[in-house]
């Protein structure tokens, strides 16, 4: 049993600001629409487009992608499914990681590479300006000021509206903020994996949106026994919905981007925006060790 969606269920979780943009906090991560290992086309390309269209119908107005998803495939899927885009739809993409083989993600933060990535993303997404462009990962072989300098130049040229970061620590976030305005951070984070708690707290202090990737972990939060299962049973919902609701209640700056290639799971994920955990449930989940979830 899952929550019955309202007309636009994604909107029930409230909104968060990305600079001068405002988006619903229940969003969508498009990475899982690619083929196995985030390489190539999926087995059913039309289903991938249907999922994207349904997400927008449910009130999702923020979609996260990257040039390395596919690679290139994910951005092309979004354009094929949704262009011309609704006026309020924000598509965020990333550059700075390459992914040509399964399991191999390589950092490349060279200014010339980031410029080429951004301009190629503009063409694939069929836009003149990318609303949110995120540095996918800091490249230890390239000074951060050089990588962000390239994005700032692209911003000044009107090709990027806002700049975000991904996979950073608190020191890198502080360094970046001294170089250019940062409106978002995307790090791995969920109820069972809070390694980025310090980064989230820094974002809360500075009013920066926080996007938790792998909000359901590696799938371990969607099955099994434990406190999440107990809360799910009490509300008549799924474990995934409880894990997503916990994230939404954890911080008003949380912009949640669950991803799926299933229309059924998409409906369930977005409906989690309507689930309100009690204070005791939220506290229990917040202090429960990973092994006990």
Instruction: Give the pLDDT score at 288.
Output: 73
- The two three-digit tokens of residue 126, written as one number: 């069929």
Determine contact, residues 186/64, Cβ cutoff 8 Å.
yes
Instruction: Give the pLDDT score at 218.
Output: 74
Cα 23 to Cα 157: distance, rounded to the nearest angstrom:
24
Instruction: Give the pLDDT score at 5.
Output: 42
pLDDT in tens, 127-150: 999 999 999 999 999 999 999 999
Neighbour count for residue 184 (Cβ, 10 Å): 24
Instruction: Give the pLDDT score at 7.
Output: 59
Cα 204 to Cα 253: distance, rounded to the nearest angstrom:
7
Phi, psi (degrees; rounded to nearest 5) at 175: -60, -45
Cα–Cα distance list, 53 to 91, 107, 128, 260, 280 (Å): 13, 31, 22, 13, 37
DSSP 164-231: EEES--HHHHHHHHHHS---EEEEE-BTTB-TTHHHHHHHHHHT-EEEEESTTTTTGGGSSSSHHHHH
Instruction: Give the pLDDT score at 4.
Output: 44
Taking only the tens of pLDDT, the chain with its 293 residues reads: 344 444 589 999 999 999 999 999 999 999 999 999 999 999 999 999 999 999 999 999 999 999 999 999 999 999 999 999 999 999 999 999 999 888 899 999 999 999 999 999 999 999 999 999 999 999 999 999 999 999 999 999 999 999 999 999 999 999 999 999 999 999 999 999 999 999 999 999 999 999 999 999 877 788 877 899 999 999 999 999 999 999 999 999 999 999 999 999 999 999 999 999 999 999 999 987 454 56
CATH number of 14-217+254-260: 3.20.20.100
Cα 257 to Cα 188: distance, rounded to the nearest angstrom:
11
Which residues have a Cβ under 8 Å from the Cβ of 46 and sit 6 or more positions away?
none
User: What pTM did the predictor assign?
Assistant: 0.95
- Residue 133 among the catalytic residues: no
């Amino acid at each position: 049993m899952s929550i019955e969606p309202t007309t636009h269920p994604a909107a029930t979780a409230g909104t968060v600001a990305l600079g001068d943009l405002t988006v619903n906090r229940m969003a969508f991560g498009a990475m899982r629409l690619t083929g196995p290992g985030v390489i190539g086309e999926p087995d059913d390309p039309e289903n991938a487009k249907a999922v994207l269209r349904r997400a927008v119908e449910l009130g999702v107005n923020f979609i996260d992608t990257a040039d390395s998803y596919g690679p290139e495939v994910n951005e092309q899927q979004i354009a094929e499914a949704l262009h011309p885009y609704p006026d309020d739809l924000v598509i965020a993409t990333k550059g700075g990681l390459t992914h040509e083989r399964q399991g191999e993600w390589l950092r490349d933060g060279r200014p010339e590479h980031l410029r080429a990535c951004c301009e190629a993303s503009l063409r694939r997404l069929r836009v003149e300006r990318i609303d949110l462009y995120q540095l996918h990962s800091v490249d230890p072989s390239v000074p951060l000021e050089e990588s962000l300098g390239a994005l700032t130049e692209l911003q000044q040229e009107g090709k990027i509206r806002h700049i975000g970061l991904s996979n950073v620590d608190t020191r890198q976030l502080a360094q970046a903020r001294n170089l250019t305005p940062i409106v978002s951070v995307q790090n791995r984070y969920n109820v069972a994996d809070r390694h980025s708690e310090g980064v989230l707290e820094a974002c809360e202090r500075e009013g920066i949106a926080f996007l938790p990737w792998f909000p359901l972990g590696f799938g371990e939060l969607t099955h099994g026994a434990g406190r999440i299962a107990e809360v799910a049973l009490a509300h008549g919902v799924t474990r995934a919905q409880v894990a997503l609701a916990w994230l939404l209640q954890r911080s008003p700056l949380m912009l949640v981007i669950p991803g799926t290639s299933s229309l059924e799971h998409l409906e369930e994920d977005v409906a989690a925006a309507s689930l309100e955990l009690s204070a005791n449930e939220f506290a229990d989940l917040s202090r429960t060790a990973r092994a006990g979830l």
